[in-house]
Amino acid sequence: MSETQVIGKTPQKAEEHPMAKILRMDRIPHIWCSTCGIGTALTSFATALEKVNIPLDHICVVSGIGCSGRIAGYVKLDSFHSTHGRALPFATGLKLGNPKLKVVVISGDGDIAGIGGNHLIHSARRNMDLVVLCINNFVYAMTGGQTAATTPLTAITSTSPYGNYERPFNLPHLAASCGAVYVARWTCLHVRRLAKSIEEAINKKGFSFIEIIAPCSTIYARRNRLGDGLDLMKFYHDNAIIKHGADTRELDIGYQDKIIVGKFVDIERPTFLDSLNAWNKKVLGEKFREYGGPND
Amino acid sequence: MKFWRKPLDADKIQIPHGELHIVWERCKGCSFCVEYCPREVLELSIEFNSKGYHPPVVKKPDDCVKCGLCEMLCPEFAIWVTEKEVDKVES
């Protein structure tokens, strides 16, 4: 049904959404559940893109599989919907194939930390020039709510009906200890801070990792009897503590516990391509021609 | 907007005024915008849309100051604000 006819009830205007130049409005409404936080994370990303001074042709979005993996299909940018857990290798290839691109990986916790965990640590170790937005909703939501690598202790999931007993990942600490140059964590409620953080990460050279805590109403909140996404948003409002520069070792998330958010790491380190060019120049001398892209 | 006296910086600071646009059929009734609107401009409607959700309706249209928080929080891209004429400060 057309929007122009039904937009009604309130001011009668059928203009387009201001983010329509970044989003594929013909694909909306999206598949995410009511009160899911992934849409909010996407609006923050779109807001950040409006502010960064990079032409949209030079920004690529890569995502893996999962609820958040659908983002690649909803953005009007060059985007990849890659295989499960392999968003980071795809993005690495894209970046090395054309270093002029700004590659943003948006995917879920199951994709980046669970199945693609090895790719995460190696991309961070090499300091690939990528922006990783890891949308953490604590479960494998799309496949039915199995225990993920980030499920907090004692939380109930479909594969841990008596509570989870596996220690979850502390994602900012993992990324920071592997060598990420920009590490932050925000919840879906901190939309403006998140947008600013994404903007900083896009402008930063090197491996930037932002964990976004998102409410999952249908799977996580329902099984744990936490209400819906709005209740989780209220929970974030009451329990998120902003602590910039906090020690990443203390950022574990317990079940319905305080969540420390903020920007934790912001350092400078040579990226993979910088190291490659510098080292080969040192070893090969004049023979080596710096790699800067396919047309160089 | 009316104040009890004219503020000293009234010529410098202009309060923006927003006009809300809600896509009735796209909304999934999460009520993030209703809950987090700092001026409590919105409320959930009593009517359903065709999906069976209660989209928000504008309760106090004159109070909107175009902060854009509803636009950023909406997971469905179903609400946005555009700038309306700038309010004159009266005393």
- pLDDT tens, A43-100? 999 999 999 989 999 999 999 999 999 999 999 999 999 999 999 999 999 999 999 9
With respect to residue A290, please indicate whether it lies within any of the assigned structural domains. Answer: no
- A 10 A CB-CB count for A34 gives 18
- Mean pLDDT over the full length of chain B: 88
Q: What is the mean pLDDT of residues B49-63?
A: 92
Q: What is the mean pLDDT of residues A194-201?
A: 96
Q: β-strand A130-136 against A102-108: which pairing, if any? A: parallel
pLDDT in tens, A207-231: 999 999 999 999 999 999 999 999 9
Which residues are CB-neighbours of A268 under 8 A, at least 6 positions away?
A: A181, A206
Which of the four pLDDT bands, split at 50, 70 and 90, describes residue A4?
very low
With respect to residue A280, please indicate whether it lies within any of the assigned structural domains. Answer: no
Binary contact (B77, A32; C-beta < 8 A): no
> Looking at residue A22, which CATH number applies to its domain?
3.40.50.970
Alpha-carbon dihedral B65, B67, B70, B72, rounded to 10 degrees: 160
With respect to residue A282, please indicate whether it lies within any of the assigned structural domains. Answer: no
Output the pLDDT for position B89: 64
Is pLDDT above 90 for A9? no
Is pLDDT above 80 for A120? yes
Rounded to whole angstroms, the Cα distance separating A4 from A130 reads 39
Q: What is the mean pLDDT of residues A147-169?
A: 94
Q: What percent of chain A has pLDDT over 70?
A: 94
Rounded to whole angstroms, the Cα distance separating A140 from A55 reads 34
What is the count of structural domains for chain A? 1
SS (H, E, C) A131-158: EEEEEECCEECCCCCEECCCCCCCCCEC
Nearest chain A CA: its distance from B35 CA (Å): 8
Q: β-strand A240-242 against A259-266: which pairing, if any? A: parallel
Angle between helices A87-97 and A117-126 (to 10 degrees): 30
Binary contact (A34, B30; C-beta < 8 A): yes
pLDDT in tens, B9-45: 878 888 888 899 999 999 999 999 999 999 999 999 9
Q: Which helix (H) or strand (E) holds A288?
A: none
Output the pLDDT for position A52: 92
Q: β-strand B18-22 against B42-44: which pairing, if any? A: unpaired
Structural domain including A115 reads 18-270
Which of B19, B76, B81 is the mutation pick for testing A, counting most A CBs within 10 A? B76
Output the pLDDT for position A16: 83
CB A52 within 8 A of CB A199: yes
Q: What's the Cα-to-Cα distance from A153 to each of A137, A142, B53, rounded to whole Å?
A: 14, 21, 34
CB A256 within 8 A of CB A156: no
Instruction: Tell me yes or no: is domain B18-83 CATH 3.30.70.20.
Output: yes
Binary contact (A35, B26; C-beta < 8 A): no
Which residues are CB-neighbours of A132 under 8 A, at least 6 positions away?
A: A88, A104, A105, A107, A112, A120, A123, A175, A207, A208, A209, A210
pLDDT in tens, A230-287: 999 999 999 999 999 999 999 999 999 999 999 999 999 999 999 999 999 999 988 8
Nearest chain A CA: its distance from B80 CA (Å): 7
Structure tokens at B85: 């004429």
With respect to residue A131, please indicate whether it lies within any of the assigned structural domains. Answer: yes
Output the pLDDT for position B15: 82
With respect to residue A2, please indicate whether it lies within any of the assigned structural domains. Answer: no
Q: What percent of chain A has pLDDT over 90?
A: 86
Is pLDDT above 80 for B68? yes
Prediction pTM value? 0.91
A115-119, A175-179, B4-8, B49-53: least confidently modelled range: B4-8
Which of A5, A10, A187 is the mutation pick for testing B, counting most B CBs within 10 A? A10
SS (H, E, C) chain B: CECCCCCCCCCCCCCCCEEEEECCCCCCCCCHHHHHCCCCCEEECCCCCCCCCCCEEECCHHHCCCCCHHHHHCCCCCEEEEECCCCCCEC
Output the pLDDT for position B33: 94
Residues of A in contact with B45 (CB under 8 A): 9
Binary contact (A39, B75; C-beta < 8 A): yes
- Mean pLDDT over the full length of chain A: 91
Which of the four pLDDT bands, split at 50, 70 and 90, describes residue A8?
very low
With respect to residue A295, please indicate whether it lies within any of the assigned structural domains. Answer: no
CB A69 within 8 A of CB A35: no
Binary contact (B23, A3; C-beta < 8 A): yes
CB A79 within 8 A of CB A62: yes
With respect to residue A6, please indicate whether it lies within any of the assigned structural domains. Answer: no
- A 10 A CB-CB count for A162 gives 7
A16-20, A42-46, A109-113, A188-192: least confidently modelled range: A16-20
Output the pLDDT for position A11: 45
Is pLDDT above 60 for A6? no
Q: What's the Cα-to-Cα distance from A48 to each of A116, A201, A242, A279, rounded to whole Å?
A: 26, 10, 20, 34
* Residue A179 CA from chain centroid, whole number: 17
By C-alpha distance, which of A271, A251, A273 is closest to A261? A251
Binary contact (A35, B75; C-beta < 8 A): yes
